[in-house]
Amino acid sequence: MRILFLAHRIPFPPDKGEKIRAYHELKFLAGRHSIDLLCFADTPAEAAQQEGLRSLCRRIYVETRSPLTIATGAARSLLRGQPLSCGSFFSRRFQAEVQRALAQETYDVIFVYCSSMAQYVPRPLPIPLVADFVDADSAKWAQYAQKSRAPLAWVYAREARTLARYEAEWARASFSTVVTTSQEAALLSRGTALRPEVVGNGVEIPEAQETQLPSEIEALQPYALFLGTMDYLPNVDAAEYFANDILPLARERRPELAFVVAGRNPSRRVRKLARRRGVIVTGQVPRAEAYVEGSAVVVAPFRIAQGIQNKVLEGLAAGKPVVCTPGPARAIGARHGETLLVADSPEEFADAVVSLLEQPELRLRLERGRDFVRQNFDWQTNLTRLEELLRRAAGASQAAEQVELRRAQVG
């Protein structure tokens, strides 16, 4: 197949959730098909990372978004009653590039990664479209609205409404619409006849390391780890929840326990947490896997969450005990006490963390999490399903062309 791949962010390096999935999709498909990738970057330095994708793509076009373009696009969408998400990713130059590619090249299928990129697909569709929405983003914005105060709550609620209509429109137009979990599929199809397809994420199982941990990590132990991009609201809220409500309860019984928040771009709210006793905010770290390896427990205390939380999978894959709120556990189909521990209140969460520090047999039992992700979150297995959907779409296009050809011959 020849695939036109449209992504809202350059999928390299695969160092954050949205890029990890897109990268593995691109890598898997490129091994079997011809890919033209058109995507955005947020900075010139990020755009330069396209060199890491040259071996995977026949052609790459990367456009760097400027803060002015983002703001102007969002303002335009606000006035037009459209989703701000789409406006912030709109560019006339990018639109022209998509149109040029479709006019000059022959593709079998268009693959859109993230709903915001569907706006670049001409209507009526020139060829079949497969859209990976990843998550039902409209539901995420609804959660933002519930957790925020006016006027942000109003803005977020508006985004949830307008984006839900947009998602439904493009899901109907697509040959197949893809999401990461059955919960996301249910949200996207609610009140409609839509039947989104589920293609789960994957995770790479790290090889066992016998190397000595860096001294700065040794000095932190024992610690609970939260790892992520720390200017992303769900991550900020989760870190605040653990630092403010859970850690003090845990430290009443285990005063030596630290909470390490590691990841790029810590917001002001996150940096402020470092003032609390026992909280360490590192910012970006050179080897995140070393922080995972050194942790006593990986925590995912999400109160705002959509889809699969990769940090949960990565913790399990590393053989670390994981404690999370119910949403992330449901998303991956993990059971409390078998794969990880689930906690729905600060008291339950603190009890779970302390139990893992004090009960070696419990820690040992939860090491089975590595087997769980190996069985359920293998990239090769899951992406074979995506390839099948793309092949079906391409086949439908070819069948339609044959019908038109026969009609022309009869005429």
Q: Which two tokens stand for residue 162?
A: 């307008």
Helix or strand (DSSP H, E) at 371: helix 369-376
Specify the DSSP class assigned to residue 212: P
Say what the pLDDT of residue 287 is: 87
Q: Which two tokens stand for residue 180?
A: 């990461």
Say what the pLDDT of residue 5 is: 98
Rounded Cα distance, 330 and 315, in Å? 16
Domain ranges in the chain are 2-202+378-410, 215-376
Average pLDDT of the chain, as a whole number? 93
Say what the pLDDT of residue 401 is: 54
220, 258 Cβ separation under 8 angstroms: yes
Q: Count CB neighbours of 406 within 10 A.
A: 10
- DSSP 3-state assignment of 298? strand
Rounded Cα distance, 376 and 38, in Å? 31
Helix or strand (DSSP H, E) at 46: helix 44-47
Rounded Cα distance, 22 and 6, in Å? 10
255, 290 Cβ separation under 8 angstroms: no
pLDDT means per 10 residues in the chain (411 residues)?
A: 97 91 97 97 96 96 94 93 96 97 97 97 96 95 93 96 96 96 92 89 80 86 96 96 98 98 96 97 91 96 92 94 96 94 98 97 90 94 96 79 48 52
> Which residue has tokens 């701000």?
84
Residues forming beta bridges with residue 6, ordered by sequence position: 38, 112
| Length of the chain in terms of residues written | 411
Q: Is 324 exposed, middle or buried (0-12, 13-18, 19+ CB in 10 A)?
A: buried
pTM, two decimals, is 0.92
Decide whether 2-202+378-410 matches 215-376 in CATH topology.
yes
Say what the pLDDT of residue 396 is: 79
Amino acid at 46: E
CATH number for region 2-202+378-410: 3.40.50.2000
Rounded Cα distance, 85 and 384, in Å? 30
Q: Which two tokens stand for residue 271?
A: 């940096």
Say what the pLDDT of residue 208 is: 66
* Alpha helices by DSSP H, 131-246: 137-147, 152-173, 182-189, 215-218, 233-241
Q: Count CB neighbours of 129 within 10 A.
A: 21
Q: Which CATH number fits domain 215-376: 3.90.1280.20, 3.40.50.2000, 1.10.4080.10, 3.30.70.260?
A: 3.40.50.2000
- DSSP 3-state assignment of 197? strand
150, 156 Cβ separation under 8 angstroms: no
- CA of 136: how far to CAs of 11, 129, 215, 312, in Å? 20, 18, 42, 19
Residues forming beta bridges with residue 227, ordered by sequence position: 262
Rounded Cα distance, 280 and 261, in Å? 6
Torsion angle of alpha carbons 104, 109, 113, 115, nearest 10°? 90
